[in-house]
Structure 1
Amino acid sequence: MEFRRSGECFAEGACNDYDAVVIGSGYGGSVAACRLAMGGLRVCLLEKGRKWEAQDFPTDTSQMLSAVRIEHRTFGVSFGPKDALYQVCRHDDSVAAMACGLGGGSLVNAGVVVPTPARTRRNPKWPKDWEKDWEVCEALASTMLRIQDVPIKFRNAKIMDEAVGEETGFKNPEPLKLTVNFDTEDQMYSSKKLGKADSCQACGNCMSGCPYNAKNSTDKTYLLSAIQAGCDIRTACEVQYVFRNLDDTSEVDEAICRRKSRRWLVFLNEFECMASDFVVLSAGVFGTTKILFQSQMRGLILSKKLGCGLSCNGNNVAYLSRSRAPLNACGLDRKKLSEVPFEERPGPSITSSYISSLGFTIQSAVIPIAFPWLLFKGITTYGWPIGYSILDSIVHKVKHLFGQPSQDMVLNVIGYDNGDGKLTFRKDANEICFQPPSDPLLARKIEALQRITKKLGGILFMSRYRSTSVHLLGGCCSSSDASSGVCNSNGQVFDTLNLTTVYPGLYVCDGSLIPCSVGINPCLTIATAAEHVSKHLLQDALDYKSKDVDFVVCPVLLT
């Protein structure tokens, strides 16, 4: 399978003219590219990151450190490669982490799949039009992502069942479903049509990228189908902005605008661009919002709500250190893996999930072997222990820093924040800054984690950041009109000429479209919304193509 990098995209003779250009390859962009290509359109997908194979993922600390880019937005400093697998952004008292690569967040998430809760779908911000086909779209996404049940209860899950099971107001949905392959004997998962997936080894390293090719990430599902349908995939291509290709050439070089049969120009820089009739922005919450902000600077008139409605999905992280319980929550390398029976291994990254009646979920997570645990535990991310006196805190902090990680565990909390965060664009630094939403349940989450820690023993360290999110949503929210959102329920971007008119051919199709917290791991919700958007997008594209419009393929001339 061949992927072209940025330098090859604009070589002499390369075709840069398509029916549709999709920007981003996560749970939104991969769906759009797949459905458009299968519908017979000429599609090109652009991905900022690289293609990651199973053997490329970091398996030790030195490799992990070279796979991370950290940007401190408050001080304006950054380090790490721009195409690093992990993109970590810190601003004031909050931190957000994203993935970069062909497959987006599906490469390094835990793959937990949960249907969108009824509470979320009753939210006044939730688009009512989505309800018309939500179950159908959700079933399509579930099938494409090849969801499977976790086959056994691993030790970590059994211990958490005992600790959390006694907590009133918590329930454990059974069984937990993941986008992970546990059975290579099933012919469906080894067919060439869907792509070969090896079996999960229960090594616990999902969140550093599966080194055993067992995760059903979007590059092995939706994108594989898109490629088979003729979609062109180009990596190492970071889009800067989009420009509406009008007859008026006063603002753009005439040689570029001569291709008047295409409605949009997609710019990677001031000199290299592609032409298409449909542009699908699916670069994630930060990426999509940044592209629209930069497009706005170049004349695209957008809703004043651009950047508003940011949700961190009520995401907080805690660390349980030096528990007396045999948690078995640290990843195994290949050598140790061969010495441990399957049922005694850590299991996938997340094997237990507990839903509170208050509306938040607590999940136990395995620490990948490649994570620099000393740094992860006590130096940069985590502050003082929770619920201790000052003297005890100092003692426990020292023990925490120099203790071994064998009986440690990450606790991930997901819930409902107020969705009132905001993204802004700093023109001088060409970067997105963010203000996290308020979280009315934070105190209740800490109380629940303290009770669990008391039962398991050990020391609880809450993240020092007010928000630690890997589940960003919003920023280009769907709404009924431009006064309250950036897009309509079909993902079409409002042009604000009046409240409901849209830009022809310009769509948003990723998590930035979701207008509120979803309360659970959001990957299935994003893919389901993308299926809904893609259905209308494909029909729009086919209707447009059926008109008497010149669709002769011709490369864009560049200066």
Structure 2
Amino acid sequence: MTSNAQQCEPSTSGIPASLKPGATTDLNELPTSSKSKFPRLARPVPMMRPEYDVVVIGSGYGGGVAASRMARAGKSVAVLEIGKEKWPGEYPSSLKEALSELHVSGNSKNLDSSRWKDVAVGKPTGLYNLVLGEGQNAFVGKGLGGTSLLNANVFLEADKRTLALGSWPSELRTDVDGLDECELLFLLFPRAEADVTGLPSDYSRAKHMLQPSPYPEDYPPLKKLSVLEKQANALGNGKNFYRVPQTTFFKTEVNNAGVQMHASTGSGQDSTGVNDGSKNSVLMNYLPDAWNWGAEIFCECEARYVKRDHSGKGYIVYYAWHGDGREHFQDSFYSELMWVRARELCFLGAGTLGTTEILLRSHAHGLKTSPMVGKHLSGNGDVLSFGYNTDEIVNGIGREDPSASDPPGPTITGVIDNRGPETSPNVLDGYVIEEGAVPAVLAELLQTMLEALPGKQHPKQYGVQERLRHVLSDTETRFLGPYATGSSVNRTQTYLIMSHDSNEGILTLNGKDDAPHLEFLGVGRTEHVKVLNEVLEKATSAVGGTFINSPFYAAFNQQVEITVHALGGAIMSSDGTGADGATNHIGQVFTGGGDSRGVHEGLVCVDGSVIPTALGVNPLATITALAERSVHLIAQQKGWEIDLATKNGKLDLFGPPAHSFPMTTDMVTINTSINSPTREGIHFTEIMDGHIYIGDDIDDFIVAENAAKASSSAARFYLSVDALDVNV
């Protein structure tokens, strides 16, 4: 057990011994194990230092950007991620495996309409996290790489009309009339003044790392993509149909971070984790880059709140470690926390809900913030619906081992982009329709689930012949399974819409047990949602299918949508004050409301929580670009140079990184023991309560204990013990 595991208030004096000269060893000199089947970028938590220059909370797009860029600036960086580290080949491929990774939390009035109550089912470190809310639910991923592990990889920029809305800060907002996309992006994400090397702007930096490309024309044709194109033509939107750029590799090659990627098999498993090594998630680019430049990554560390250091310099991040069985001590787990100090910067990249929750809890623990924290959340106008049992073979069910000639394809490959002024004169009426793929773990359940839903809209032509075909397809599914060629499930098109909602969501903390409470008001602008449903109904009818709305209707007994793109909660202020937002245009957290322009200069939000409005499209490109912008502006303010010119080359993720910081002798011993294949150890956690006598003048233990009790000298230890070698 290292000194970092202490539970007392941290000392803030000077530089830690682990970064001072003397008794140190370079990480490159340490033995590493190559026997693991999968890489492990994360370190054991006992190897965490007491302080770093920079602490990054979360490891999704924003957190990955911050970690990579700060490490390339030569700063010591710690990354804290609540989830576990899982690589392609480790993601669930069966319903049983998937259920073991499911965590459900939030407000359960949707399950029991008579009253509200908090729900917590499953492990908080699970890969799949369903957050139940009032009016709308949210799905997020937890793991090293964040939700990028489970999203559909679509890299589409927000349209210029959305970015010109009054909700955006004046530093980002501009008159975009007559500008093409390249001019717009340059205005919104300009090169830093110090950047004279011709390096790309922030959107281009994001593209460089994420490397989006559309599904290739010379790849096997995809049935679900062809059906979507047919539906686009039926809607009169054929010119708005195209193949989406996505962060999926279609060739086996090394990516721009130096990580070996593999060509996509088109499994359609993106939403549960792609095991073929083609998904260019943050785990495959920004995080390995950060690791190679010396960032130290720690998983199963749940950041709870942040406080200003008592010295006035830096921040203390308090976290709960889900390791060594500590979570079994429920009464103490969230009250007796571990800590790490950020000497200069703390980046919040825990995702929209995670970052907002941390800021709310930080405020409760004394951090001065704007009252706008927790306000103006958006579900990005997300709508999930189905065109069930169409006349077309859709092949929209994921397969772990798909046919090379007839794969489902990546989860999303096409879009009907109705954001333009010709289709949607009012920018807030703009939307995109994308086709989807249901993951294999849900294949056997899909027919039962969809047929149980109320409010089905059958096709306009639904005579005897059409009814007979539908019955036969249903029967084929029941007897031959969902993958049978003519089964109703194999004929089902999945719709994913992103649009503009009312941005009226609120996240608060339950004062009694500190649990977050999510409430969406005016969720999707009801009349607009009706229009979208009519469009989907028309598209479904065009291919002879039955339109089925949100699957959460049946599950929660009311019309409840789900978002996979929650935004807001720590929004950037449009006028630069804490009265209108929680952060400034860089993402720095305001120190108050009203006309206050004061900020915590070292506390910066870099994820979807800062986005002040629905984007009407998949948000990963905008989140990543804004994070690149924020990090580079912060570095510019501090006079730090981020080395973007040096390339990694091909990375050996089983070996040591190219850059590292010196380690103490204790850290060397721990690392050597962990990587030794011959040693056997034990891990356990225990809480010891009692009294302690201060002094050495009493020899008898009973007398000493009584004296300690009389003086109220109590002691309590919440200890995790890692005995790495029981044979010593």
Q: Please give the TM-score of this superposition, normalised by the length of structure 1.
A: 0.87
Match of residue 86 from structure 1: 128
Match of residue 147 from structure 1: 212
Match of residue 55 from structure 1: 89
Question: What SS is found at the alignment partner of 1:53?
Answer: coil
Distance 1:286 1:381, change over 3 A: farther
Q: Give the residue type in structure 2 aligned to 1:369.
A: A
Question: What SS is found at the alignment partner of 1:291?
Answer: helix
- 1:242 pairs, out of 291, 306, 309, with 306
Match of residue 272 from structure 1: 338
Compute the displacement of 1:297 (Å): 0.8
Q: In the alignment, is the contact (CA less than 8 A) between 2:269 and 2:437 conserved in 1? A: yes
Match of residue 379 from structure 2: 312
Question: Which entry has the higher C-alpha Rg, 1 or 2?
Answer: 2
Compute the displacement of 1:133 (Å): 4.5
- The reply to whether residue 19 of structure 1 matches residue 53 of structure 2 is yes
Compute the displacement of 1:333 (Å): 3.1
Residues 134-163 of structure 1 deviation map (CA, whole Å, 9 limit, x = unaligned)? 262111101110112210342211122112
Match of residue 608 from structure 2: 511
Compute the displacement of 1:322 (Å): 1.3
Match of residue 256 from structure 1: none
- 1:349 pairs, out of 387, 391, 411, with 411
Q: In the alignment, is the contact (CA less than 8 A) between 1:120 and 1:126 conserved in 2? A: no
Moved more, 159-168 or 534-543: 534-543
Q: Give the residue type in structure 2 aligned to 1:146.
A: Q
Compute the displacement of 1:458 (Å): 2.1
Q: CA RMSD in A?
A: 3.0
Distance 1:383 1:374, change over 3 A: farther
Compute the displacement of 1:245 (Å): 0.8
Match of residue 166 from structure 2: 124
CA distance in 1, matches of 2:307, 2:635: 21
Compute the displacement of 1:408 (Å): 1.6
Compute the displacement of 1:71 (Å): 2.0
Distance 1:215 1:381, change over 3 A: farther
Q: In the alignment, is the contact (CA less than 8 A) between 2:588 and 2:603 conserved in 1? A: yes
Match of residue 105 from structure 1: 147
CA distance in 2, matches of 1:170, 1:484: 40
Compute the displacement of 1:281 (Å): 0.6
For structure 2, the residue ranges without an aligned partner over 5 or more in a row are 1-38, 109-116, 174-186, 191-200, 321-335, 425-429, 479-486, 554-558, 642-661, 667-716, 719-728
CA distance in 1, matches of 2:84, 2:381: 30
CA distance in 1, matches of 2:338, 2:577: 33
Moved more, 69-78 or 85-94: 69-78
Compute the displacement of 1:300 (Å): 1.0
Residues 494-542 of structure 1 deviation map (CA, whole Å, 9 limit, x = unaligned)? 0028510111311111000000011100000100110111112223444
For structure 1, the residue ranges without an aligned partner over 5 or more in a row are 248-259, 545-551
Compute the displacement of 1:25 (Å): 0.6
Moved more, 437-446 or 499-508: 437-446
CA distance in 2, matches of 1:388, 1:297: 53
Residues 347-373 of structure 1 deviation map (CA, whole Å, 9 limit, x = unaligned)? 111111102223111111011112255
CA distance in 2, matches of 1:199, 1:72: 38
Residues 419-443 of structure 1 deviation map (CA, whole Å, 9 limit, x = unaligned)? 1221111122322222225323201
- 1:531 pairs, out of 608, 628, 651, with 628
- 2:566 pairs, out of 472, 488, 499, with 472
CA distance in 1, matches of 2:626, 2:87: 28
Moved more, 362-371 or 443-452: 362-371
Residues 162-218 of structure 1 deviation map (CA, whole Å, 9 limit, x = unaligned)? 12213135643533211000011x5x53x8x52001110012112111110100000
CA distance in 1, matches of 2:92, 2:392: 29
- The reply to whether residue 374 of structure 1 matches residue 461 of structure 2 is no
Q: Give the residue type in structure 1 aligned to 2:437.
A: V
Match of residue 73 from structure 1: 107
Distance 1:144 1:426, change over 3 A: same
CA distance in 2, matches of 1:541, 1:284: 25
CA distance in 2, matches of 1:530, 1:502: 18
Question: What SS is found at the alignment partner of 1:128?
Answer: coil
Question: What SS is found at the alignment partner of 1:56?
Answer: coil
Q: In the alignment, is the contact (CA less than 8 A) between 1:71 and 1:79 conserved in 2? A: yes
Match of residue 360 from structure 2: 293
Percentage of identical aligned residues: 26
Compute the displacement of 1:4 (Å): 4.2
Q: Mapping of 1:112-261 within 5 angstroms?
A: 112-130=154-172, 132-134=187-189, 136-152=201-217, 153-169=221-237, 171-184=239-252, 186=253, 188-189=254-255, 193-247=257-311
Q: In the alignment, is the contact (CA less than 8 A) between 2:118 and 2:515 conserved in 1? A: no
Residues paired across the two proteins, number? 522
CA distance in 1, matches of 2:106, 2:56: 29
CA distance in 1, matches of 2:404, 2:54: 49
Q: In the alignment, is the contact (CA less than 8 A) between 2:80 and 2:301 conserved in 1? A: yes
CA distance in 2, matches of 1:331, 1:291: 35
Question: What SS is found at the alignment partner of 1:159?
Answer: helix
Q: Please give the TM-score of this superposition, normalised by the length of structure 2.
A: 0.67
Question: What SS is found at the alignment partner of 2:490?
Answer: helix
- The reply to whether residue 411 of structure 1 matches residue 453 of structure 2 is no
Match of residue 184 from structure 2: none
Distance 1:194 1:383, change over 3 A: farther
Q: In the alignment, is the contact (CA less than 8 A) between 1:278 and 1:541 conserved in 2? A: no
Question: What SS is found at the alignment partner of 2:631?
Answer: helix
Distance 1:388 1:341, change over 3 A: closer
Compute the displacement of 1:93 (Å): 3.6
